[in-house]
A and B are shown apart, each in its own frame.
Chain A
Amino acid sequence: MRKGMFYGLLFTAPAILGFAIFTLGPMIASLVLSLTNYNVFQDQTSFVGLDNFVRLFSGKDELFYKSLGITFYFVVLRVPAVILISFGIALLLNLNVKGRAIFRTIIYLPSIVPAVASAMIWMWLLNPDLGLINSLLSRLHLPTSDWLYGESSVIPSVVLTTLWGIGSTVIIFLAGLSGIPRQYYEAIEVDGGGWFRKLSHVTVPMVTPTIFFNTIMTIIGSFQVFNEAYILTQGGPNNRSLFYVFYLWRTGFRDAEMGYASALAWILFIIILFFTFIVFRTSKSWVYYEGGDRA
């Protein structure tokens, strides 16, 4: 069509400008900042080369390794939990049960609750002295916990609170499950296979692309957890929930060390890219695409 180039650029101009102004520009600026000692409270800013990165890795900044370790622990705990539980729920929802729509709504609903409000609710539920959960546990004569206030229980507790917002992952799984042709199950029924055979031979292989997608999204999201750290724990107790992005925020916006915080941001970016890449690479051996292997 005539003048396609002109109109094409005209219509996409806001998006292209937005990308340049709010993504590309800041990215380059962030890279440059990470090579400076820019601190809002200090007058002099100079180019320091890789000093920030040396300072990070040299071990002088214990909190860097600590926050990294905590975040990894969180990711390792959360990702399998999210994937397994949401897949399990999606399997149940995929059955021909009455009231499916109601169950689906109930399970999705918490994921739209604002993070601050959800944090308030969970702080109240998990309150060690007055909370519902400890009170139920003690009535059942089960051990109670300090939850968010315990050094060893804080991370699992945060994982628990985020599991409440699992709904959107469930919905994506459900979409994947509903795309499986019935004939595959019928074939197994003819062969006399039962529930487990259907699951292992048809359901799981057929939803591997969805598992793959959800795994990547959950990894990316888990590395970036911030709201929970800020609202629920403020990094405590004793820095035991000093999540990486929370530490980054504190370094940049409380201690005003913007240069150093930019270096922290780039490390996170590289870590996320690395894990996404790994999952992509291994996916070739376990993700099944109907009608050929396009990755």
Chain B
Amino acid sequence: MRPSKLSLTASYGALILISAMFVIPFVWLIRSSLMNLSQIFTMPPEWIPKPFQWSNFHKALTVLPFDVFFKNTLIIVVTVLVGTVITSSIGAFGFSRIQWKGRDTVFAILMTSMMLPAAVTIIPSFLGWQALGFYDTLYPLIVPAYFGGGIFNIFLLRQFYLTIPRDFDEAAFVDGANYWQIYTRLIFPLSRSAIIVVALFSFLASWNDFMGPLIYLKSDSLFTLALGLQMFQGTYTAQWDLLMAASATVVLPCVIVFLAGQRYFLEGITLTGLKG
């Protein structure tokens, strides 16, 4: 569309206004995290901290063992990411580059799990993990990633694999390669960008997960950042300066990861319609 000058100006105005509305909560978070309590409550509100109260971060992160929460979160994020990437790419390979009877039917059945509300499976899953003695451990949050890595991710990678010409495999077969070699030496390396998308989504999903840790973890020593932050809120309800410092700390890593991989993120969402 070739908009007129007037409508272009109006559009800029609207976009700037909307962007401001999306940005202000971040600004409010940062400014509050760097103020002392009396300045934070000043009416009308001030935007610039005076002085910058950097000690908020130190205080917020030491009153509760955030280092432990961070370590737990990191363990989950890294192991889940590895499991997701490996098993979803293997699965996608089996659903796209190998011909076998019933393949597409099996894939369609697996796809139905995307429609299923988590609420339906959460109680039996919980009871199952509990019966196996894994309640209040990190296993329930990690192990499922090693079983397929999520149908969303398989779908995304499968779409990508389907765009790679078949001749590649044929040629490799003629050279005496087997399926495993074709997967590890050819298809996996060729799909780097799609793999990055899966890795990024996996990172975000486990970094942001709240319900999983809430249900499976009981001991503070196993808590993730999300649970720690929630616990923090329960304990220091009125300490908005510390609450905001703690929140900023939980937000920052995922903002950094997003900005680093933004091109892949936007591509991935467009590809799958996946909700971030």
On A, residues with C-beta under 8 Å from B are 1, 4-5, 7-12, 14-19, 21-23, 25-27, 29-30, 33, 89, 92-97, 103-117, 120-122, 124-125, 130, 132, 135, 139, 164, 167-169, 171-172, 174-175, 185, 195, 198, 213-214, 217, 220-221, 223-224, 226-227, 230-231, 245, 248-249, 252-253, 258, 261-262, 264-266, 268-269, 272-273, 276
B192 an interface residue at 8 Å Cβ cutoff? no
Q: Which residues of B contact A110 (CB under 8 A)?
A: 22, 25-26
Interchain CB contact under 8 A, A135 and B87 = no
A27 to B116, CA, bound (A): 9
Interchain CB contact under 8 A, B15 and A93 = yes
Interchain CB contact under 8 A, B179 and A30 = no
Interchain CB contact under 8 A, B147 and A21 = yes
A244 to B255, CA, bound (A): 31
A247 to B248, CA, bound (A): 30
Of the four ranges (under 10, 10 to 19, 20 to 34, 35 or more), the interface on chain B belongs to 35 or more
Q: Which residues of A contact B99 (CB under 8 A)?
A: 1, 4, 8
8 Å CB contact of A30 from B15, B29, B124: B124
Bitwise interface map of B from 201 to 230 toward A, beta carbon under 8 Å scored 1, else 0 = 000100110110011000000000110011
Interchain CB contact under 8 A, A15 and B87 = yes
B126 CB to nearest chain A CB (Å)? 8
Greatest chain B CB density within 10 A among A18, A122, A139 is at: A18
Of residues 97 through 141 on chain B, the ones whose CB sits less than 8 Å from some CB of chain A are 98-101, 103, 106, 109-110, 113, 115-128
A188 CB to nearest chain B CB (Å)? 10
Can you spell out 12 A-B residue pairs with CB atoms less than 8 angstroms apart? A19-B113, A26-B128, A92-B11, A92-B15, A108-B276, A109-B22, A109-B255, A110-B26, A139-B44, A249-B211, A252-B122, A253-B215
Query: Known contacts A107-B18, A112-B255, A265-B119; is A19 also within 8 Å of B269 by CB?
Result: no
A84 CB to nearest chain B CB (Å)? 13
Interchain CB contact under 8 A, B22 and A5 = no
Q: Which residues of B contact A169 (CB under 8 A)?
A: 275
B144 an interface residue at 8 Å Cβ cutoff? yes
8 Å CB contact of A231 from B113, B126, B230, B274: B230
A162 to B274, CA, bound (A): 17
A213 CB to nearest chain B CB (Å)? 6
A255 CB to nearest chain B CB (Å)? 12
A23 to B14, CA, bound (A): 45
Interchain CB contact under 8 A, A261 and B22 = no
Question: Which B-chain residue is minimally distant from A169 (CB atoms)?
Answer: B275
Q: Which residues of A contact B244 (CB under 8 A)?
A: 120-121, 124
Interchain CB contact under 8 A, A116 and B128 = no
8 Å CB contact of A22 from B121, B211, B230: B121
Of residues 71 through 98 on chain B, the ones whose CB sits less than 8 Å from some CB of chain A are 87-88, 90-91, 93-95, 98
Interchain CB contact under 8 A, A106 and B22 = yes
Q: Which residues of A contact B95 (CB under 8 A)?
A: 12, 15
Q: Which residues of B contact A107 (CB under 8 A)?
A: 18-19, 22
Interchain CB contact under 8 A, A92 and B41 = no
Q: Which residues of B contact A105 (CB under 8 A)?
A: 259, 262
Interchain CB contact under 8 A, A33 and B251 = no
Interchain CB contact under 8 A, B100 and A175 = no
Question: Which B-chain residue is minimally distant from A221 (CB atoms)?
Answer: B275
Given contacts A8-B94, A116-B226, 10 further A-B contacts (CB under 8 A): A19-B148, A23-B121, A25-B128, A26-B122, A106-B22, A114-B210, A114-B225, A132-B45, A164-B25, A220-B115
Query: Known contacts A14-B146, A117-B247; is A96 also within 8 Å of B94 by CB?
Result: no
Interchain CB contact under 8 A, B115 and A276 = yes
Q: Which residues of A contact B195 (CB under 8 A)?
A: none
Interchain CB contact under 8 A, A16 and B229 = no
A130 to B167, CA, bound (A): 65
B54 an interface residue at 8 Å Cβ cutoff? no
Q: Which residues of B contact A1 (CB under 8 A)?
A: 98-99, 173
Query: Known contacts A19-B113, A106-B23, A171-B269; is A8 also within 8 Å of B98 by CB?
Result: yes
Question: Which B-chain residue is minimally distant from A8 (CB atoms)?
Answer: B100
Question: Which B-chain residue is minimally distant from A91 (CB atoms)?
Answer: B11
Query: Known contacts A10-B94, A113-B254; is A23 also within 8 Å of B113 by CB?
Result: yes
Interchain CB contact under 8 A, B110 and A15 = yes
Interchain CB contact under 8 A, B116 and A245 = no
Q: Which residues of B contact A16 (CB under 8 A)?
A: 106, 110, 148
Q: Which residues of B contact A276 (CB under 8 A)?
A: 115
Interchain CB contact under 8 A, A115 and B94 = no
A164 to B12, CA, bound (A): 20
A144 CB to nearest chain B CB (Å)? 12
A51 CB to nearest chain B CB (Å)? 17
